[in-house]
Structure 1
Amino acid sequence: MRKVLKWIGIVVGGLIVVIVVAVLGLSIAGNAKLHKTREVPSDTVAIPTDEASLARGKQIVTGVCSGCHGPDLAGIPMIDDPSIGTIYAANLTVLSQTWSDADYVRAIRHAVAPDGRQLPIMPAEAWIHLSAEDLGSIIAYLKTLPPTGAESPEPMLTLMGRVLLATGQFGQIFPAEYIDHSTPFPDMPPIGANVAYGEYIAEFCKACHGENLNGMQPQGDPTSPPAPNLSPGGELVGWTEDGFLQTFRTGVTPAGRELNNEYMPWKEFGSFSDDELRGVWMYLQTLPALPSGNDQPS
C-alpha cells in the first residue's frame, strides 16, 4: 500500500512540475510577445498647417480615435482586469512633446511605437488604408493639442494574462503582425455621398465588425460583446438610409435598440456629416448578404 501511495505521490508531483514548467514557459513566451519589436517602412507624409486640413484632422480624430483614446484623447483603459492586467490606449495629447512626425506615421499606419515595439489593439489594419493627405491632417491636428495628464501606463499583464496572450486567447491583438506594411497610400476619394468614400470610411469599422463587416468578436477584449453584422445579411437589411443616419444622431436603432457608446461609439462617429454617412450607407448596400459571425444574432 505504501508503495502505491509513493508512486501516486511521484506521479502527482511530476505532473505538478510539468504544469508549473509549462505555465512558466507560456508566461515567458507571452512576455516576449508583449515586448516584441518590428522594423517597418519609413513612410514620408507632408504635414499641413492650413485651417481646412486641421479641421479635417479634428473631424477624423473625433470620429474615430476618441472611441478608444477617450473624449479628451488622454487615454483610457482598453483592458482593465485584475486577473489579466491592463492595456491603456495612449494619451494622444502628450505625444508631441517627444514624438517626431515619423513616429506618428509609424504608430498610426503600422501600429509600431517609436522604440519599435508592436502596439496592442491599435487598428492599423484600417489606418494603413488612409490617404497620405488625411494622415497628414490627423498628425497636424494632434500636434496642436494641449497636454492633458500624464503618459498612459505601459501594458502590464499578469501571469494569467501572459499565458492567455501566448496561447492566442486575445486574438490578433497586434495588427503589426499581420498587416501588409508595404501597402501604398490610396488615392483620396471625393468626400461625400458616394460609394468610394463610404468604402474608405468603412475601413475603420472593420476593426470591430470584421474584414467582411459581417460581425466578429472585437480583438483584444474577450469580454466585449460581438460587433453586429453590417452586411445585408444582418439587422441593417430592414433599415432605411434615414434610419441609418438617425442611429448616429440619436444612438437608437430603427428597431428601438439603444447603442452602448462604450462598444459602438456612435456619438463620436456621428461627427461625420450626413453626406459622409450616406456614403457609408451606400457602400454597405453593395456588400453581399453574409451570415453573422461568432454565432451572434442577425
Structure 2
Amino acid sequence: MKRILKITLPAVIAICLIAVACVYVLSERRLARTYDVAATDFTVKTTLSPEEAERRARTFMCGGCHRDAGNVLVDEPGVGRIVAPNLTRFVPMYSDAELVRLIRHGVKKDGTGVFIMPVSNFANIADDDIAAMIAWLRSLKQLPDAVDGTTQWGPVGRIGLALDKIPFEADLVPVSMTPAAARPADIGEYAFRTDCSHCHNLDTEKQSEVFVAPALRPLAQSYSPADFKTLLRTGKGVGGRDLGVMTEVSQWDFNHFTDIEIDQIQAYLARQP
C-alpha cells in the first residue's frame, strides 16, 4: 500500500500542476484574443451645450459602473476582482475613433475585448449621442484612481475563461451594425435598446450572473407616472424599497432623464404587444 502511495502521489501532484498550468495558459490566451474591428474615422462635432451633452451621456449608465474615478464591480473569492477603470485617466489614452470602437464594439485599444460593459446595448446609440458622450468624457478633469489595482482573476474565473464561459461583449455585436445618425424625438424604444434591455426583458424575467431582473412591461403598467418617475430618479420601488443595482444605476445615471423622456420610456414599456 505504501509503495502504491509513493507511486501515485507524485503522479497526482504532477497531474494537478499540469492542469493548473493548462488553465492558466488557456485563460491568458482567452484574455489576449483580439478582434479584427477597424477603428474607423469619427468626427466628434456636437451643437449641444456642455450641460446637455453631459446630461445625455450620463443616461447611458457610465456612472453606475465607473463612478467618478473607477469602481470595483465584482469581488468574489475564487472568482476574481473585476474593476471598472477610471475613465478620467483612461479616456485620454484613446483617439475618438478608438473610443467609438470601444463603446460600440467592445474592442479595446490593443484589440482585445471587454466584458460586463453593455456594448451590445451601446451599439444602438445614435451618432449624435456618441458625439455628446465623447465630448463629455473629454471634458472630465483627471482624478486619481478611486480603487487600487486592476482586474484580477481567481481560479474559478480562470477556469471560466479557459472554457470560454465568460462572455466578451465583442462576440455579441455584429460588426456591420449601422446606428442611426440622430437620437429620436421619442426615446421610449431607444432607451430600452440602449439601456434597459441590458438587464431586463419586456415580458419575462431575465437571469444574469448576479441577479434576476423583472419583466418591464408588467412593471411599467403597474406604476403610476409619478411612481415611475420616482423609480428612475431614485431607484426606489413603491414604498421606498431599495432595488440594489437598479437603485445605484438610477441615482448615478437615470436621474438625468427629463420628465418627458421618462413618460416616453414608460409609454413604450407599458404598451400592449
Please state which band the TM-score falls in when normalised by the shorter chain: 0.7 to 0.9
Deviation at 1:117, TM superposition (A): 1.4
Normalized per residue, which structure has more helix? 2
- Residue 206 of structure 2: which of 197, 206, 216 is its match? 216
Deviation at 1:12, TM superposition (A): 6.7
Matched residue SS, 2:217: coil
What is the rounded CA distance, in whole Å, between the counterparts of 1:40 and 1:168 in structure 2?
20
Classify 1:129/1:262 alpha carbon distance in 2 versus 1 (closer, same or farther; 3 Å): closer
Matched residue SS, 1:93: helix
Correspondence list, 1:143-162, <5 A = 143-150=138-145, 153-162=149-158
Correspondence list, 1:99-178, <5 A = 99-150=94-145, 153-168=149-164, 170=166, 172=167, 174-178=168-172
The match for 1:295 is none
What is the rounded CA distance, in whole Å, between the counterparts of 1:34 and 1:287 in structure 2?
43
Classify 1:113/1:270 alpha carbon distance in 2 versus 1 (closer, same or farther; 3 Å): same
Deviation at 1:82, TM superposition (A): 4.4
- The aligned length equals 269
Q: 8 Å contact 2:57–2:132 — kept in the other structure?
A: no
TM-score normalised by structure 1 residue count: 0.78
The match for 2:238 is 254
Quick one: which amino acid aligns to residue 260 of structure 1? G
Deviation at 1:23, TM superposition (A): 3.8
Deviation at 1:99, TM superposition (A): 1.8
Classify 1:114/1:280 alpha carbon distance in 2 versus 1 (closer, same or farther; 3 Å): same
- Residue 36 of structure 2: which of 35, 39, 60 is its match? 39
Identity of aligned residues (%): 28
What is the rounded CA distance, in whole Å, between the counterparts of 1:15 and 1:228 in structure 2?
47
Matched residue SS, 1:77: strand
The match for 1:228 is 214
Correspondence list, 1:1-298, <5 A = 2=1, 6=3, 14=11, 17-48=14-45, 50-52=47-49, 54-63=50-59, 64-70=61-67, 72=68, 74-150=69-145, 153-168=149-164, 170=166, 172=167, 174-191=168-185, 194=186, 197-203=187-193, 204-210=195-201, 214-218=204-208, 222=209, 224-232=210-218, 235-254=219-238, 256-261=240-245, 264-267=248-251, 268-286=253-271, 288=273
Classify 1:276/1:177 alpha carbon distance in 2 versus 1 (closer, same or farther; 3 Å): same
What is the rounded CA distance, in whole Å, between the counterparts of 2:77 and 2:267 in structure 1?
43
Classify 1:137/1:109 alpha carbon distance in 2 versus 1 (closer, same or farther; 3 Å): same
Q: 8 Å contact 1:67–1:262 — kept in the other structure?
A: no
Deviation at 1:276, TM superposition (A): 0.6
Deviations 1:224-278 (A, max 9, x none): 322222133xx44422333212222343323552222576512121110011111
Q: 8 Å contact 1:216–1:227 — kept in the other structure?
A: yes
Classify 1:132/1:43 alpha carbon distance in 2 versus 1 (closer, same or farther; 3 Å): farther
What is the rounded CA distance, in whole Å, between the counterparts of 1:250 and 1:122 in structure 2?
22
Classify 1:49/1:189 alpha carbon distance in 2 versus 1 (closer, same or farther; 3 Å): closer
Classify 1:272/1:263 alpha carbon distance in 2 versus 1 (closer, same or farther; 3 Å): closer
* Structure 1 portions without partners, runs of 5+: 289-298
What is the rounded CA distance, in whole Å, between the counterparts of 2:112 and 2:157 in structure 1?
18
Quick one: which amino acid aligns to residue 242 of structure 2? E
Deviation at 1:213, TM superposition (A): 6.7
TM-score normalised by structure 2 residue count: 0.85
Matched residue SS, 1:179: coil
Matched residue SS, 1:58: helix
Deviates more, 1:30-39 or 1:265-274: 30-39
RMSD: 2.8
